[in-house]
Amino acid sequence: MKFKAREIAEILEGTVEGNPDVEISTFARIENGKPGSICFFANPKYEHYVYGCKADIIIVNAGFVPQKPVSATLIRVEDAYAAVAKLLEHVTAQKRSFKRHRGLMSRRHFSTRLGRKVYLGDFSYVGRRTVVGDYTRICENVFIGDDVKIGSRCIIYPGVRIYSGMEIGNDVIIHANAVIGADGFGFAPLEDGTYKKIQHTGNVIICDNVEIGANTTIDKSQIGSTIIGRGVKIDNLCQIAHNVEIGENTVIAAQSGIAGSTKIGKHCVLGGQVGVAGHITIADNTSFGAQSGVLGSVRKEGQAFLGTPAIPYKDYLKSYAIFKRAASEKK
């Protein structure tokens, strides 16, 4: 990878302040910048690093006004954080090669349909009547069951398990050891104190441009579909139960769990270790802070919650101030 400042500015639709011909070959964090590297500055907490940074190029917001001299060439953009994401995507796309590959001991049924330049890694299996779209990469040790539909330009990382009948859209990334389509946790209590398993006959539908973290599990529905909407991002070690529906562009941080038949709206944010009860509805643009326990439905859009049970964020801060004062008075 080698880019000149003017080339980067063209990609990011930004402006160069400094030497337009300075060349970089690697990325670095702002605190570890070195000659030949490019950094970005977006968080005001890191401003002091800008002035001592030895990187050749720094991407900054258009409105940034330096308080001291800066030795690096600056590329000014509307949003530095979004710009570096765009640049990283551009570099990754250049490095990625789309080529047809059938790995050692990989297996696919004769009724399987693989699109153009599909990569099938070593020891992976693709089942009967499964359809895989163009340019999709199925890495090593992946299991894909029968009658699965996978779109184009997807990446299925090693160890992923996709049960039969699941549907995966285009541009989906599923990280290592995720499980898509296991039975939900459904059991009917009997009079003798035992439990009878409820069969799950539905599937999971993952829409376009979704990313699913490592070791995350998404259970198939009892009847109908568990639905992960377009643009949803799910972190590592999350549990999405049967018949859950997650609206588009919602983000869910690590170790969160959503119980069965709950509907999460669009553009919601769930912090780490959030737990959501079953059979409730969450309105669009709702946010939950880390470790919140969501026990009831949220009907009004655009609210933020914290705590267990989760209450409005401002109420939580007031309550916390009272608890803190009471604790200090006891001492």
* Alpha-carbon gap, residue 141 to 15, rounded angstroms: 46
Question: Which two tokens mark 86?
Answer: 């765009």
Burial class (CB in 10 A: 0-12, 13-18, 19+), 243: buried
Listed residue (186, 187, 136) closest to 162, CA to CA: 136
H-helix or E-strand spanning residue 316: helix 313-330
Among residues 143, 153, 38, 25, which one has the least CA distance to residue 96? 153
Quick check: bond before 35 cis, omega within 30?
no
Q: Indicate which residue of 109, 242, 267, 279 is catalytic.
A: 242
Please tell me the distance from the alpha carbon of residue 149 to that of residue 45, in angstroms, as a whole number: 45
Assess whether 242 carries a catalytic annotation: yes
Q: Which amino acid, 15? A: T
What DSSP character marks residue 30? Answer: G
Q: CB 32: neighbour CB atoms within 10 A? A: 12
Rg (CA), the chain: 24
Active site amino acids: 242
